[in-house]
Chains A and B, each alone.
Chain A
């Protein structure tokens, strides 16, 4: 597999392109396991700083925080946001400057409906980080061959709670702290299987889903009663 990819990338490198990358697949199927579901393969002849960025479909969300009410803890609506559902950053080495840029990029891409009077963006970013939907990993470019450091791969694990849809993946090149080039590609994430079907069915055909739930429950209940009575 790797050799095939190297053969694909080799002509590109010979074509005097300093940087090139491609995806192991343009259709990613999310499965509920620990394995990586996407690998980025690339060729880099420069010594520049590279940042691979993955951006998920946009979504509108409500952030709720626990507050005390009469000495009891309850959820309170804190803010309404519009932002990409997933942000993953992978760099080829650690740099404080890039760390700052990545954090700024995260904050700038989150649009708060209303006034940010309580560091809500910070809370949202922290929450998304714990869910694995916002992720930053330095030194994540792995060499494919021991003798040749130009070919690299980046193993990526998109969390199962990532949204299905169109994702943008871009490679940004930084030279002396300045963005000098950017290349983008798109890929699609899908969630097959019964769980995904049930989720879509429940949200798109809610009434029918309710009817099916009723039928399944009665069938199971009456069926079990019949079996045990026998």
Chain B
């Protein structure tokens, strides 16, 4: 079951790639997350060049998110007004991210940047998630569908606009900034960014959870679309064959994962996810400081 990946330019065991897609898809279904922040490090562990892993994962997230975006759109869960401003920021941020990606790749430091970003993000997410879940397991707080944000400095920003669907009155700079930040993450880390965007939309913008998830998916589809096209055009780093295998494994895994969600409590699920995130973070940190097995590589620039 060995297959040659044309863009990654290496041979992989398809069974391992499909299994990885399945496992991450299973966790996506189980925990209700996109899974990009787990899939990209796993691909790097499997030997896929980080640039290809990031760009290909963006393409895979596009596929896995599009189905959810269509479903949420048909149920009226997308706030297109906020989505538009998120998208403006997202397109700007992701374009900026791809330019930076190319610059760092040419300089030879891209792998280090990707690893450091992942370690920082996984450590932060893992710790926060673990602490929050552990606390809520003791407190047994009842969650509400709408968490109104307290008035803070963000609500004093200029260019305020009334978003009728979400019934909020906020500055357009807020969704643009969130979108821009997530766009940069998407380009540099190959993630959808839902794990940042959804909490930000709930706690900072004051949107309800269902609408935040739907609008986030809407933004992710278009931003990952932009990242895929730009990464393919400027970095030739999107491996369509790899993306297809990951999508197949991921889609099937997600179906199984979602069946087990109801068997575990929300807090238990989050603690479990936090532990997985921390393990991946530890492995990335270890790889970054340990003596490399391969210490040289050749990058073809021109063929005569």
Contact = CB atoms under 8 A, between A and B. Distances in A.
Contact of A221 (B4, B64, B294): B64
Contact of B303 (A71, A78, A123, A165): A165
A172 B59 CA distance: 51
B229 A72 contact: no
B108 A64 contact: yes
A223 to B, nearest CB: 8
B33 interface: no
Interface string A216-229: 11101110111011
A79 B52 CA distance: 23
A218 B63 contact: yes
Interface in B104-144: 107-109, 111-112, 115-116
Contact of A57 (B4, B225, B304): B304
B238 A209 contact: yes
B210 interface: no
A165 B221 CA distance: 40
A62 B298 contact: yes
B88 interface: no
B300 A225 contact: no
Interface in B1-35: 2, 4-7, 9, 11
B238 A225 contact: no
A1 interface: no
B6 A198 contact: yes
B217 to A, nearest CB: 11
Nearest to B119: A72
Interface centre among A63, A85, A212, A216 (most CB of B within 10 A): A216
B67 interface: yes
Interface string B215-246: 00000010001001111111010101101100
A62 to B, nearest CB: 5
A135 to B, nearest CB: 16
Interface string A167-196: 000000000000000000000000000111
A59 B229 contact: no
B112 A228 contact: no
Contacts of A124: 298
Contacts of A222: 66-67, 70
Contacts of A71: 289
Given A60-B302, A66-B296, A195-B4, A221 B232 contact: no
A138 interface: no
Given A65-B295, A206-B233, A214-B228, A220 B300 contact: no
Secondary structure type dominating chain B contacts: helix
Interface centre among A66, A76, A207, A229 (most CB of B within 10 A): A66
B171 to A, nearest CB: 32
A156 interface: no
Contacts of A202: 6-7, 232, 236, 238, 240
Interface in A35-62: 57-62
A163 B303 contact: yes
Interface size, A (range): 35 or more
A59 B302 contact: yes
A127 B289 contact: no
Contacts of A228: 251, 255
B301 interface: yes
A25 interface: no
B240 A214 contact: no
B64 A195 contact: no
Interface in B277-300: 288-292, 294-300
Contacts of B234: 206
A101 B303 CA distance: 26
A211 interface: yes
Contacts of A76: 108
B199 interface: no
Nearest 7 pairs between A and B by C-beta? A225-B67, A210-B232, A217-B63, A221-B63, A210-B229, A74-B112, A60-B302
13 contacts: A58-B303, A60-B301, A73-B288, A80-B301, A202-B236, A202-B240, A209-B240, A213-B240, A213-B243, A214-B59, A217-B63, A225-B251, A228-B251
Interface of A: 32, 57-66, 69, 71-78, 80, 85, 123-124, 126-128, 131, 160-161, 163, 165, 194-196, 198-199, 202-203, 206-207, 209-214, 216-218, 220-222, 224-226, 228-229
Given A212-B240, A213-B229, 20 more contacts: A58-B304, A59-B300, A59-B303, A65-B295, A66-B292, A72-B115, A73-B292, A85-B300, A127-B298, A198-B240, A202-B238, A206-B232, A206-B233, A209-B238, A209-B240, A211-B229, A217-B66, A217-B247, A221-B67, A226-B67
